[in-house]
A = this chain, B = another copy of it.
Amino acid sequence: MKFATLPNGTLDGRLILVSKDLTKAVDATAIAPNLLSVVQNWQAKEADLQALYNKLNTETLDAAFDFDPSACLAPLPRSPQWLDASAFLNHGKLMEEAFNTAPIADFDTIPVMYQGASDDFQGPTVDIPMPSEADGIDFEGEFGVVMAEVPMSATPEEAAKSIRLIVQINDWSLRALGPREMNSGFGFLQAKPSSSFAAVAVTPDELGDAWANGRVNMPLHVTWNGERFGEPHGSEMNFSFPQLMAHAARSRKLTAGCILGSGTVSNSARAAGSACISERRVIEKIDLGEIKTAFMKFGDTVRMQAKFDDGTDGPFGVIEQKVVSN
Protein backbone atom coordinates (compact mmCIF):
# COMPACT_ATOMS: atom_id res chain seq x y z
CA MET A 1 0.00 0.00 0.00
CA LYS A 2 0.97 3.60 -0.54
CA PHE A 3 -0.06 6.25 1.98
CA ALA A 4 0.14 10.03 2.07
CA THR A 5 -1.15 12.82 4.30
CA LEU A 6 -3.05 15.98 3.42
CA PRO A 7 -3.42 18.99 5.72
CA ASN A 8 -6.67 19.36 7.65
CA GLY A 9 -5.69 21.63 10.52
CA THR A 10 -4.73 18.81 12.88
CA LEU A 11 -1.22 17.87 13.95
CA ASP A 12 -1.46 14.49 12.22
CA GLY A 13 -3.21 15.57 9.00
CA ARG A 14 -5.69 13.34 7.18
CA LEU A 15 -5.09 9.96 5.59
CA ILE A 16 -5.19 9.25 1.88
CA LEU A 17 -4.29 6.14 -0.07
CA VAL A 18 -2.28 6.68 -3.26
CA SER A 19 -2.53 4.45 -6.32
CA LYS A 20 0.34 2.15 -7.21
CA ASP A 21 1.25 4.38 -10.18
CA LEU A 22 1.11 7.55 -8.00
CA THR A 23 -1.52 9.21 -10.25
CA LYS A 24 -4.69 8.85 -8.15
CA ALA A 25 -5.60 9.09 -4.49
CA VAL A 26 -8.62 8.49 -2.30
CA ASP A 27 -9.59 9.71 1.14
CA ALA A 28 -9.24 6.90 3.69
CA THR A 29 -10.44 8.66 6.82
CA ALA A 30 -13.50 6.43 7.02
CA ILE A 31 -11.04 3.69 7.98
CA ALA A 32 -8.54 5.71 10.02
CA PRO A 33 -8.24 9.47 10.54
CA ASN A 34 -4.49 9.68 9.94
CA LEU A 35 -1.43 7.58 9.22
CA LEU A 36 -0.26 7.58 12.83
CA SER A 37 -3.50 5.91 13.87
CA VAL A 38 -3.01 3.32 11.11
CA VAL A 39 0.41 2.37 12.45
CA GLN A 40 -0.98 2.31 15.99
CA ASN A 41 -3.85 -0.01 14.97
CA TRP A 42 -2.34 -1.92 12.08
CA GLN A 43 -3.97 -5.29 12.60
CA ALA A 44 -7.45 -3.79 12.92
CA LYS A 45 -7.08 -1.52 9.87
CA GLU A 46 -4.94 -3.43 7.39
CA ALA A 47 -7.64 -5.46 5.67
CA ASP A 48 -9.98 -2.51 5.05
CA LEU A 49 -7.13 -0.35 3.80
CA GLN A 50 -5.90 -3.10 1.50
CA ALA A 51 -9.42 -3.52 0.07
CA LEU A 52 -9.73 0.20 -0.65
CA TYR A 53 -6.21 0.26 -2.13
CA ASN A 54 -7.08 -2.64 -4.43
CA LYS A 55 -10.22 -0.82 -5.59
CA LEU A 56 -8.25 2.37 -6.23
CA ASN A 57 -5.83 0.41 -8.42
CA THR A 58 -8.37 -1.65 -10.35
CA GLU A 59 -11.61 0.33 -10.54
CA THR A 60 -12.71 3.85 -11.37
CA LEU A 61 -13.72 5.22 -7.98
CA ASP A 62 -16.04 8.21 -7.88
CA ALA A 63 -14.17 9.42 -4.80
CA ALA A 64 -10.73 9.21 -6.40
CA PHE A 65 -8.87 12.40 -7.27
CA ASP A 66 -5.59 13.29 -8.95
CA PHE A 67 -2.67 12.78 -6.58
CA ASP A 68 -0.69 15.98 -6.01
CA PRO A 69 2.41 15.33 -3.89
CA SER A 70 3.07 19.05 -3.57
CA ALA A 71 -0.14 19.34 -1.52
CA CYS A 72 1.07 16.72 0.94
CA LEU A 73 2.55 17.02 4.39
CA ALA A 74 5.16 14.57 5.60
CA PRO A 75 3.45 11.15 5.78
CA LEU A 76 3.72 11.45 9.57
CA PRO A 77 3.86 15.20 10.36
CA ARG A 78 4.68 14.22 13.94
CA SER A 79 5.98 10.94 15.25
CA PRO A 80 6.67 9.54 18.73
CA GLN A 81 10.43 9.28 18.10
CA TRP A 82 12.88 10.14 15.31
CA LEU A 83 16.02 8.08 15.63
CA ASP A 84 18.72 8.50 13.02
CA ALA A 85 21.64 6.14 12.61
CA SER A 86 24.83 6.50 10.61
CA ALA A 87 24.62 3.04 9.12
CA PHE A 88 26.63 3.58 5.94
CA LEU A 89 30.08 3.24 7.42
CA ASN A 90 31.75 4.52 4.25
CA HIS A 91 30.49 7.98 5.18
CA GLY A 92 32.06 7.90 8.63
CA LYS A 93 35.32 6.44 7.30
CA LEU A 94 35.63 9.27 4.78
CA MET A 95 35.06 11.82 7.55
CA GLU A 96 37.79 10.23 9.67
CA GLU A 97 40.24 10.03 6.77
CA ALA A 98 39.69 13.66 5.79
CA PHE A 99 40.04 15.08 9.27
CA ASN A 100 42.53 12.52 10.58
CA THR A 101 40.41 11.73 13.62
CA ALA A 102 40.37 8.44 15.50
CA PRO A 103 37.61 5.99 14.56
CA ILE A 104 34.62 5.86 16.89
CA ALA A 105 35.09 2.83 19.16
CA ASP A 106 33.18 -0.25 17.94
CA PHE A 107 31.96 1.77 14.96
CA ASP A 108 31.63 -1.32 12.81
CA THR A 109 29.89 -3.54 15.36
CA ILE A 110 27.67 -1.14 17.36
CA PRO A 111 25.54 1.39 15.44
CA VAL A 112 25.88 5.10 16.18
CA MET A 113 22.54 6.84 16.39
CA TYR A 114 21.16 10.16 17.59
CA GLN A 115 17.69 11.16 18.73
CA GLY A 116 16.21 14.07 16.80
CA ALA A 117 13.09 16.19 16.98
CA SER A 118 9.95 14.45 15.71
CA ASP A 119 7.28 17.09 16.27
CA ASP A 120 7.55 19.20 13.13
CA PHE A 121 8.44 17.10 10.09
CA GLN A 122 8.38 18.98 6.80
CA GLY A 123 6.56 18.01 3.62
CA PRO A 124 8.27 17.21 0.32
CA THR A 125 8.11 20.58 -1.44
CA VAL A 126 7.81 23.31 1.18
CA ASP A 127 10.49 25.98 1.49
CA ILE A 128 12.85 25.28 4.39
CA PRO A 129 13.62 28.29 6.60
CA MET A 130 17.09 28.36 8.11
CA PRO A 131 18.56 30.94 10.48
CA SER A 132 21.89 31.61 8.71
CA GLU A 133 23.97 30.62 5.68
CA ALA A 134 26.96 30.67 8.01
CA ASP A 135 25.65 27.52 9.74
CA GLY A 136 26.82 25.25 6.92
CA ILE A 137 23.45 24.25 5.50
CA ASP A 138 23.50 20.70 4.14
CA PHE A 139 21.07 18.01 3.01
CA GLU A 140 21.33 14.29 3.81
CA GLY A 141 19.44 11.80 1.68
CA GLU A 142 18.25 8.79 3.64
CA PHE A 143 15.83 5.91 3.82
CA GLY A 144 13.82 5.10 6.94
CA VAL A 145 11.29 2.72 8.46
CA VAL A 146 8.10 3.45 10.38
CA MET A 147 7.39 0.85 13.00
CA ALA A 148 4.64 -0.63 15.09
CA GLU A 149 5.52 -0.93 18.79
CA VAL A 150 8.86 -2.57 19.55
CA PRO A 151 9.22 -3.92 23.09
CA MET A 152 12.23 -3.07 25.22
CA SER A 153 15.24 -5.32 24.52
CA ALA A 154 13.75 -6.81 21.34
CA THR A 155 16.13 -8.81 19.15
CA PRO A 156 16.65 -7.82 15.51
CA GLU A 157 14.44 -10.75 14.51
CA GLU A 158 11.65 -9.53 16.81
CA ALA A 159 12.11 -5.91 15.72
CA ALA A 160 11.83 -6.90 12.05
CA LYS A 161 8.22 -7.95 12.63
CA SER A 162 7.34 -4.36 13.58
CA ILE A 163 8.41 -2.73 10.31
CA ARG A 164 5.26 -1.32 8.71
CA LEU A 165 6.31 1.40 6.25
CA ILE A 166 9.36 2.59 4.31
CA VAL A 167 10.00 6.32 3.83
CA GLN A 168 12.48 8.61 2.06
CA ILE A 169 14.01 11.42 4.11
CA ASN A 170 16.05 14.58 3.82
CA ASP A 171 17.79 14.96 7.18
CA TRP A 172 18.72 18.66 7.13
CA SER A 173 22.02 19.37 8.85
CA LEU A 174 23.89 22.47 9.95
CA ARG A 175 27.53 21.47 9.65
CA ALA A 176 29.05 24.49 11.37
CA LEU A 177 27.18 23.57 14.55
CA GLY A 178 27.90 19.83 14.53
CA PRO A 179 31.51 19.61 15.76
CA ARG A 180 30.90 21.50 19.01
CA GLU A 181 27.85 19.36 19.74
CA MET A 182 29.73 16.16 18.97
CA ASN A 183 32.65 17.23 21.14
CA SER A 184 30.30 17.95 24.04
CA GLY A 185 29.33 14.27 24.03
CA PHE A 186 25.66 15.22 24.28
CA GLY A 187 25.15 14.85 20.51
CA PHE A 188 23.38 16.78 17.78
CA LEU A 189 20.69 19.29 18.66
CA GLN A 190 21.07 22.69 16.98
CA ALA A 191 22.90 20.91 14.14
CA LYS A 192 19.74 19.00 13.20
CA PRO A 193 16.73 21.11 12.17
CA SER A 194 13.44 19.38 11.41
CA SER A 195 13.74 16.66 8.76
CA SER A 196 11.74 16.49 5.51
CA PHE A 197 9.97 13.51 3.99
CA ALA A 198 8.90 12.45 0.52
CA ALA A 199 5.11 12.41 0.28
CA VAL A 200 4.49 8.68 0.04
CA ALA A 201 5.09 6.08 2.75
CA VAL A 202 4.87 2.53 1.42
CA THR A 203 4.50 -0.96 2.79
CA PRO A 204 7.64 -3.05 2.15
CA ASP A 205 5.92 -5.17 -0.54
CA GLU A 206 5.71 -2.06 -2.75
CA LEU A 207 9.50 -2.25 -3.12
CA GLY A 208 9.42 -5.82 -4.45
CA ASP A 209 12.91 -7.29 -4.58
CA ALA A 210 14.38 -3.91 -3.61
CA TRP A 211 13.36 -4.61 0.00
CA ALA A 212 15.77 -7.36 1.05
CA ASN A 213 18.12 -8.05 3.93
CA GLY A 214 16.35 -5.37 5.95
CA ARG A 215 17.65 -2.73 3.54
CA VAL A 216 16.25 -0.49 0.80
CA ASN A 217 18.25 -1.68 -2.19
CA MET A 218 17.68 1.32 -4.43
CA PRO A 219 19.80 4.22 -5.64
CA LEU A 220 18.88 7.62 -4.24
CA HIS A 221 19.20 10.21 -7.01
CA VAL A 222 20.21 13.61 -5.68
CA THR A 223 20.51 16.87 -7.61
CA TRP A 224 21.53 20.28 -6.22
CA ASN A 225 20.36 23.38 -8.09
CA GLY A 226 19.48 21.09 -10.97
CA GLU A 227 22.92 19.50 -11.26
CA ARG A 228 23.59 15.85 -10.61
CA PHE A 229 25.08 15.28 -7.17
CA GLY A 230 25.01 11.50 -6.75
CA GLU A 231 22.97 8.35 -6.72
CA PRO A 232 24.42 6.25 -3.91
CA HIS A 233 22.76 2.88 -3.44
CA GLY A 234 21.00 1.70 -0.30
CA SER A 235 22.41 -1.81 -0.51
CA GLU A 236 25.74 -0.81 1.09
CA MET A 237 24.12 -0.13 4.46
CA ASN A 238 26.36 -1.83 7.03
CA PHE A 239 23.60 -2.45 9.57
CA SER A 240 20.10 -3.60 8.63
CA PHE A 241 17.04 -1.71 9.82
CA PRO A 242 16.12 -4.55 12.24
CA GLN A 243 19.62 -4.35 13.73
CA LEU A 244 19.24 -0.60 14.15
CA MET A 245 15.79 -0.99 15.70
CA ALA A 246 17.11 -3.52 18.23
CA HIS A 247 19.90 -1.10 19.12
CA ALA A 248 17.35 1.68 19.71
CA ALA A 249 15.12 -0.58 21.82
CA ARG A 250 17.94 -1.77 24.11
CA SER A 251 16.64 0.10 27.16
CA ARG A 252 13.28 1.53 26.07
CA LYS A 253 10.05 0.59 24.38
CA LEU A 254 9.60 2.18 20.93
CA THR A 255 5.95 3.14 20.64
CA ALA A 256 3.98 2.69 17.43
CA GLY A 257 4.86 5.29 14.80
CA CYS A 258 8.52 5.74 15.69
CA ILE A 259 10.74 6.40 12.66
CA LEU A 260 14.29 5.17 12.30
CA GLY A 261 16.59 6.57 9.60
CA SER A 262 19.57 4.99 7.90
CA GLY A 263 21.83 8.01 7.94
CA THR A 264 23.08 9.53 4.72
CA VAL A 265 23.29 6.95 1.92
CA SER A 266 26.95 6.51 1.00
CA ASN A 267 28.89 4.20 -1.30
CA SER A 268 32.58 3.37 -1.41
CA ALA A 269 32.72 3.85 -5.19
CA ARG A 270 33.54 7.51 -5.92
CA ALA A 271 31.47 7.29 -9.12
CA ALA A 272 28.26 7.01 -7.11
CA GLY A 273 28.60 10.58 -5.87
CA SER A 274 27.13 11.52 -2.53
CA ALA A 275 23.83 12.27 -0.81
CA CYS A 276 25.21 15.14 1.30
CA ILE A 277 27.54 18.05 0.64
CA SER A 278 29.69 17.29 3.64
CA GLU A 279 30.74 13.98 2.09
CA ARG A 280 31.62 15.58 -1.26
CA ARG A 281 33.76 18.08 0.66
CA VAL A 282 35.76 15.42 2.49
CA ILE A 283 36.24 13.49 -0.77
CA GLU A 284 37.62 16.70 -2.32
CA LYS A 285 39.94 17.09 0.65
CA ILE A 286 41.17 13.51 0.32
CA ASP A 287 41.38 13.31 -3.49
CA LEU A 288 42.24 16.91 -4.41
CA GLY A 289 43.92 18.17 -1.28
CA GLU A 290 41.45 20.99 -0.79
CA ILE A 291 37.72 21.56 -0.24
CA LYS A 292 36.15 23.20 -3.29
CA THR A 293 32.41 22.94 -2.66
CA ALA A 294 30.63 25.38 -0.32
CA PHE A 295 27.46 24.57 1.60
CA MET A 296 23.99 25.72 0.52
CA LYS A 297 22.96 29.35 0.10
CA PHE A 298 19.47 30.80 0.52
CA GLY A 299 17.59 30.14 -2.71
CA ASP A 300 19.39 26.86 -3.38
CA THR A 301 17.28 23.80 -4.16
CA VAL A 302 17.83 20.10 -3.55
CA ARG A 303 15.96 17.25 -5.23
CA MET A 304 15.94 13.63 -4.07
CA GLN A 305 14.25 10.65 -5.65
CA ALA A 306 14.81 6.96 -5.08
CA LYS A 307 14.67 4.86 -8.24
CA PHE A 308 14.62 1.17 -8.91
CA ASP A 309 17.72 -0.45 -10.35
CA ASP A 310 16.05 -0.56 -13.77
CA GLY A 311 15.82 3.25 -13.72
CA THR A 312 12.08 3.50 -13.13
CA ASP A 313 10.83 5.94 -10.53
CA GLY A 314 10.62 4.70 -6.96
CA PRO A 315 7.40 4.71 -4.96
CA PHE A 316 8.09 7.58 -2.54
CA GLY A 317 7.77 10.54 -4.87
CA VAL A 318 10.23 13.42 -5.01
CA ILE A 319 11.67 15.68 -2.31
CA GLU A 320 12.31 19.06 -3.94
CA GLN A 321 12.96 21.93 -1.58
CA LYS A 322 14.35 25.43 -1.49
CA VAL A 323 16.29 26.82 1.44
CA VAL A 324 15.13 30.27 2.53
CA SER A 325 16.04 32.75 5.24
CA ASN A 326 13.98 32.32 8.43
Contacts and interface: CB of A to CB of B under 8 A. Distances in A.
Interface of A: 78, 80-81, 83, 86, 104-107, 110, 112-120, 129-131, 135, 152-153, 174, 177, 180-194, 247-248, 250-255, 258, 326
Contacts of A78: 80, 255
Given A117-B115, A119-B258, A190-B247, A129 B105 contact: no
A162 to B, nearest CB: 14
A255 B120 contact: yes
Contacts of A83: 189
B251 A135 contact: yes
Nearest to A191: B251
A187 B120 contact: no
8 A-B pairs with least C-beta separation: A187-B187, A182-B185, A80-B119, A114-B186, A190-B250, A119-B255, A115-B115, A112-B186
8 contacts: A81-B117, A113-B186, A115-B115, A130-B251, A174-B251, A185-B187, A190-B248, A190-B250
Contact of A194 (B86, B182, B185, B253): B253
Contacts of A118: 80-81
Q: Which of A86, A152, A252 has the most CB of B within 10 A?
A: A252
Contacts of A152: 129, 131, 326
A188 to B, nearest CB: 7
A180 B110 contact: yes
A81 B326 CA distance: 21
A179 to B, nearest CB: 9
Contacts of A129: 152
Contacts of A190: 247-248, 250-252
Contact of A252 (B105, B120, B182, B252): B120
Nearest to A135: B251
A260 to B, nearest CB: 11
Contacts of A251: 130-131, 135, 174, 177, 190-193
